[in-house]
Structure 1
Amino acid sequence: MDYKQIFDYARELDTILILNGGEGQIDKTFFYLTQAESGIFEGSALIVSQDGMKIITSELEEESARSTGLEVIVAKGREDFNRIIRKSLENVNSVGINYSAISLGMYKDLLKVIPDKEFIDVSNSIIESRKMKNDNELAKLRQAAKIGSEIYEEVIQSLKEGMTEYELASKIVYEMMNAGASGPSFSTIVGFGPSSAIPHYSPSDRKLKKGDFVLTDYGALYKGYCSDITRTAVFGRADSKQKEMYNIVKEAQTESMKIIREDVNGKDVDQVARNIIDSTQYKGKFIHSLGHGLGLDVHDHPALARNYDFTLKDRMVVTVEPGIYVTKYGGVRIEDDVVVGKNGFEKITSGPSELLEIS
């Protein structure tokens, strides 16, 4: 990771402070810059300057921190941590802070530790830096996509009448971790029958029966990087409506992908898929954007949305996920992950092209 590229978007600064709080307040930028592959780093900090980076952390994270090859300072408690922060920044007037990743409480505490500094928000600079992936990041994203893609056949063939959505969700997570993932990249979605019409559905004890749609939306986490995959199948024989919905969504995905390349506007990609779906009886049934950025976060940045101007750039990774949702009947969504290229795209997920009917 060339950490200095973050200053390409924050030229007025020469020092950035990345702060982690407790559980739920971890800034993924810490892992983006350090490329740490283990550790949680709660209550840790990263000081980034033109001259290098140093991690300030506890004994709990010392070994994980040193595995990065960066300078590491171990704090003996919170007072010592604050002292190290003050000492490290004593000759700095302006400090870049990722406002989007710190809580109000963390900000107030920081004001007490270094009250004499000017804080400058660098959250937009960080977002811009993280959008384009380097070779190391792309390798991790490809592996996350590979793991998620390859476990699907094993998972879908395990369907049996009467199993619950909970059971299938746990099977997905087990197979991903068995294949080398460190865990799921987000809470796994499994929807049977009418539940598949709810895009952000949470699995329940609903039992599988013949004729149900089986929608699975899941992702593998590999060395901190995420995949995001949605597949839709039918348990038993698909009826004509199910086949029709699937084929329309598949066409919308295929045709919209064809225009993905550098300098294309994301809303134009969305419009291709939306036009196809809206030209059918399912007009208005595609109720979300076509896709989003993918990286350390499963929703890394906006990308493909009808009301959002977003220019695609080489080495961005985005999802393409059109869907049709019919309330009380069911839904179809097909989602794949692609790398944007100068003259096209690389699809890094794989899966069935036709609607699977699992007997």
Structure 2
Amino acid sequence: MIFDKIFEYAREADTVLIYNAGEQNRDPTFTYITQTTKGIFEGSALIVKKDKATIVTSQLEEEAARSTGMDVYIFKNGTEFQNILRDLLKDVNTVGLNYNSLSLSSYKMFLRIIPDKEFLDVSASILEARKVKNEEELKKLKEAAKIGSEILPDVLNDLKEGVTEYEVASKIVYYMMRNGASGPSFDTIVAFGQNASMPHYSPGKAKLKKGDFVLMDYGAKYEGYCSDITRTVVFGKASEEQKEMYYTVKKAQEAGMNAIRSGANGKDVDAAARNVIDSTKYKGRFIHSLGHGVGLEVHDHPALSPSLDLPLKESMVVTVEPGVYVPGVGGVRIEDDVVVKKDGFEKITSAPTYELIEVS
């Protein structure tokens, strides 16, 4: 049972309450425990114990809930929801809550519904449990990575002079969903030319022209799990400066990946890549962390950072994404998703990265 992992860390509570306030305020732990993406589960709750999980949901989600095989309680209105929670928790003194995904209004609601309970923040315990993926999770992550990787040739084929960043971003999402994704795992980034010097750029109306960098940062969501890929190409013939930037980043990524293994410290992996860039004229132009965890959220947990002391564990999935950003020139980022292995890593993204692609 996947949910019993939570209690390996949340030993201070024997019952955990997970709540989805609304469609735009869902706790990914709901999907983690139920392993279903069939419903939205708006306004639904999970009561998790060491040996079972119970879904409390509305009639809208009854069919999806029952397909999990878990115990299910159905409410028709808010009063019934509150009464069911009180009854299911009547013999529980301490309730663990995932504060990281709980709004203040939801917390106050639980204070009103079950005021006799002691609430504990188990968000760190939940995060720790979710860091290491099981085989079923890895299967879904690999499929999300495969979908994102295989669309790149179609996207590159659509790069024509005068196309806008908006258009390329929309094509990326279209191709991913055509190939089996439920949607993008985050808002797609497409940056042309000088815009690529901004790591968190949002695509706009800029039109592609010869000599532009094309930086594409995107990911597919498959059965709730995410991929995260960045590729940088040049439209037309690359300048010597563009080539130097690209191969500096490529070398840095290789150094970072080669430092990954179970037991390695995330900050040391970051340093391996950062040292490559800082040994060149681009010192100081790598302005973010090397990577983060990927799972039910595209930023599932911190992982490879100069300021984070984090020993890597086997079956964690992390990104490796060094970058060089030069205002007025552009930027290069190469990002892949890898599974941490006992003696190394397994790269699960496969879109081409070996040589700088010049799109004619």
TM-score range (shorter-chain normalised) is over 0.9
What secondary structure is seen at the aligned counterpart in 2 of 1:216? strand
TM-score by length of 1: 0.99
Q: TM-score, normalised by structure 2?
A: 0.99
Give me the whole-angstrom Cα distance separating, in 2, the residues matched to 1:2 and 1:351.
Answer: 31
1:97 shift after superposition: 0.8
Give 2:124's aligned residue.
124
Give the Å deviation of 1:12: 2.7
Cα RMSD, aligned residues only: 0.8
How far residue 168 of structure 1 moved from its aligned partner, in angstroms, is 0.2
Runs of 4+ that moved beyond 3 A: none
In structure 2, what is the equivalent of residue 84 of structure 1? Answer: 84
Number of the residue aligned with 2:199: 199
Q: Distance in 2 between matches of 1:51 and 1:220?
A: 33
Aligned: 1:356 with 2:343: no
Displacement after TM superposition at 1:100 (Å): 1.1
CA deviations 1:43-81 (Å, max 9, x no partner) are 000001123111000111111111111111110111100
Q: Give CA deviations for 1:79-101 in whole Å, capped at 9, x if unaligned.
A: 10000000000011111111111
Q: Count how many residue pairs are aligned between Structure 1 and Structure 2.
A: 359
Q: Please give the secondary structure, in 1, of the residue aligned with 2:90.
A: coil
Which residue in 1 is equivalent to 2:51? 51
Matches within 5 A, 1:266-285: 266-285=266-285
- Structure 1 gaps of 5+ residues are none
Q: CA deviation at 1:2?
A: 2.5
1:147 aligns with 2:154: no
Distance of 2:351 and 2:325 partners within structure 1: 21
Query: Following the alignment from structure 1 to structure 2, what is the Cα–Cα distance between the partners of residues 2 and 281?
Result: 48
Structure 2: distance between partners of 1:321 and 1:236: 24
User: 1:23 Cα deviation (Å)?
Assistant: 3.2
Q: Which runs of 5+ in 2 are unaligned?
A: none
Question: Counterparts of 2:2 and 2:142 in 1: how far apart (Å)?
Answer: 20
Alignment match, 1:243 = 243
Separation in structure 1 between the aligned mates of residue 203 and residue 38 of structure 2, nearest angstrom: 29
Look up the match of 2:305. Answer: 305
Letter in 2 for 1:143: E
Deviation of 1:40 after TM superposition, in Å, equals 1.0
The secondary structure found in structure 2 opposite 1:140 is: helix
Instruction: State the identity as a percent.
Output: 64
In the alignment, structure 1 residue 95 sits paired with structure 2 residue 95: yes
Q: AA paired with 2:107?
A: Y
**Whole-angstrom distance in 1 between the partners of 2:232 and 2:310:** 28
Query: 2: distance between equivalents of 1:227 and 1:22?
Result: 24
Match of 2:287 in 1: 287
Matched position secondary structure for 2:251: helix
Which amino acid letter does the alignment assign opposite residue 357 of structure 2? L
Q: CA deviation at 1:194?
A: 0.5
Matched AA of 1:174: Y
Give the SS at the match of 1:62: helix
